[in-house]
């Protein structure tokens, strides 16, 4: 029996059966979307629904992939990307602003610099007569659950043509593993894969926090922490690069960190396993040399496209139309 879902707030809310089912829906809808007939069909499924994208922190991929995911399913959208253009500028709280959205739409997709805001809003709406689903598209330093869903999908698709498994595989998460919310959300999902191991590779000053360390231990996720990137590259099955999250600096402290030791260079391709993959949630700065992009092991451009399809599947699951996708046209 698969897991029902309403709000999407944190990656640890997903169980293994949910992941398996979500990716089955994702694969099926990708096939449907290859034809005009399939696309037209998908657009009829929830064309009576409306969504708002409330993104008060910058975003390219998450915003556009959710917007396009809604369009694929025929959902009408509205958006606020700058709180200065909403009545928050008149002193309205974010809580009241978001409660207002629920008067008009059937789904709220939000990104915020505030950790925990999506959870807070979901709880608040649960107490109102207009309870609508909330999807967290990234909240401060703490969570980016839909990024973790697309990352797991990318790992599984990359480890074998028919959807290889992550069981027994090792992944290096590299860079600012302290403040990167994608690292937190993805590493929490590794609990669902037998024998998988995470290497956190970072400068000493940007190691994972105690809360994540304790969470991984409690959930039997095997992990190691190191500053030695060079030695890890030949060992792992996947490398997950991240940029320094200097928007969270208190006083420009990132400037004093030598992040170049955590860059993936063209020469590193020589020592990387031949069937290993390179990922990045993007945007990148200099963490991956652009010359690496042409190597077949570089999966980050596919990863961002996978994000759109997994988000279509997620919305389909929320609105209970998943069976219309796995068994289309009523057959």
Q: Which of the residues 7, 10, 28, 61 is marked catalytic?
A: 61
Site string for ligand CP, 170-199 (x = CB under 6 A): ------------------------------
How far apart CA 281 and CA 147 sit, in angstroms, is 7
Does the footprint of ligand CP cover residue 247 (CB under 6 A)?
no
The pattern of x and - marking residues 52 through 71 that bind ligand CP according to CB under 6 A reads -------xxxxx--------
Q: Which one is catalytic: 111, 157, 192, 243?
A: 111
How far is residue 188's CA from residue 186's CA, in Å, rounded to a whole number? 5
Catalytic-residue membership of 144: yes
Count residues binding ligand CP (CB under 6 A).
10
User: Which of residues 154 and 170 has its CB atom nearest to ligand CP in the complex?
Assistant: 154
Burial class of residue 83 (count of CB atoms within 10 Å of its CB; 0-12, 13-18, 19+): middle
SS3 80: strand
Tokens standing for 162?
A: 């028919």
* Catalytic residue list contains 326: no
Distance CA(93)–CA(99), nearest Å, equals: 10
CA atoms within 13 Å, Cβ hemisphere of 184: 24
The C-alpha atoms of residue 241 and residue 232 are separated, in whole angstroms, by: 13
Of 63 and 101, nearer to ligand CP (C-beta) is 63
Q: Note whether 283 binds ligand CP by CB under 6 A.
A: yes
Burial 139-174 (b: 16+ CB within 10 A, else e): bbbbbbbbbbbbbbbbbbbbbeeeeeebeebbbbbb
CA distance 229 to 239: 10
- Of 147 and 158, CB closest to ligand CP: 147
Question: Residue 297 in contact with residue 272, Cβ under 8 Å?
Answer: yes
Quick check: is 28 catalytic? no
Q: Which of 22, 94, 121, 282 binds ligand CP (CB under 6 A)?
A: 282
Cβ 280 to ligand CP shortest distance, Å: 9
* Closest approach of ligand CP to the CB of residue 59, in Å: 3
Minimum CB distance to ligand CP, residue 60 (Å): 4
108, exposed or middle or buried, with CB in 10 Å at 0-12, 13-18, 19+? buried
CB of residue 181 to ligand CP, shortest distance in Å: 9
Residue 145 as a binder of ligand CP (CB under 6 A): the answer is no
CA distance 304 to 315: 17
- Is 61 designated active site? yes
Nearer to ligand CP, 32 or 239 (CB): 239
* Long-range contacts of the stretch 244-252 (C-beta < 8 A, 24+): 244/175, 244/176, 244/206, 244/285, 245/141, 245/176, 245/179, 245/180, 248/141, 248/179
9 or 45: CB nearest ligand CP:
9
Does 147 bind ligand CP (CB under 6 A)? Our answer is: yes
- CB of 115 vs ligand CP, minimal distance in Å: 15
- Is residue 138 close enough to count as binding ligand CP by CB under 6 A? yes
Known active-site residue 157: no
Per annotation, catalytic residue among 26, 56, 62, 182: 62
Active site residues: 61-62, 90, 111, 144
User: Using CB under 6 A as the criterion, which residues of the chain lie in contact with ligand CP when the complex forms?
Assistant: 59-63, 138, 147, 281-283
């Amino acid at each position: 029996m698969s897991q029902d879902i309403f709000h999407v707030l944190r990656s640890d809310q997903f169980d293994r059966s949910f992941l398996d089912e979500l990716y089955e829906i994702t694969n099926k809808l990708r096939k449907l979307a290859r034809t005009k007939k399939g696309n037209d069909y998908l657009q009829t499924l929830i064309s009576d629904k409306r969504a708002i994208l409330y993104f008060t922190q910058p975003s390219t991929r998450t915003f556009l992939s959710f917007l396009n995911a809604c369009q694929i399913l025929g959902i009408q959208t509205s958006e606020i990307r700058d709180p200065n253009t909403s009545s928050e500028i008149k002193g309205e709280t974010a809580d009241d602003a978001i409660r207002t959205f629920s008067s008009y739409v059937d789904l709220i997709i939000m990104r915020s610099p505030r950790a925990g805001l999506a959870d807070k809003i979901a709880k608040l709406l649960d107490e109102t007569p207009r309870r609508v689903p909330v999807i967290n598209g990234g909240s401060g330093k703490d969570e980016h659950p839909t990024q973790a869903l697309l990352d797991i999908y990318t790992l599984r698709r990359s480890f074998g043509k028919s959807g290889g498994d992550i069981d027994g595989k090792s992944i290096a998460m590299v860079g600012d593993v302290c403040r990167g919310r994608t690292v937190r959300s993805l590493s929490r999902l590794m609990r669902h894969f037998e024998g998988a191991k995470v290497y956190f590779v970072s400068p000493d000053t940007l190691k994972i926090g105690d809360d994540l360390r304790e969470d991984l231990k409690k959930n039997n996720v095997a992990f190691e922490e190191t500053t030695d990137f060079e030695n890890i590259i030949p060992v792992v099955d996947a490398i997950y690069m991240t940029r320094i999250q200097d928007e969270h600096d208190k006083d420009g402290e990132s400037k004093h960190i030598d992040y170049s030791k955590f860059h993936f260079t063209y020469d590193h391709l020589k020592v990387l396993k031949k069937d290993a993959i390179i990922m990045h949630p993007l945007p990148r700065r200099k963490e991956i040399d652009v010359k690496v992009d042409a190597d077949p092991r570089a999966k980050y451009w596919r990863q961002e496209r996978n994000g759109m399809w997994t988000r279509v599947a997620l919305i389909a699951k929320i609105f209970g139309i998943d069976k219309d996708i796995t068994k289309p046209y009523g057959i």
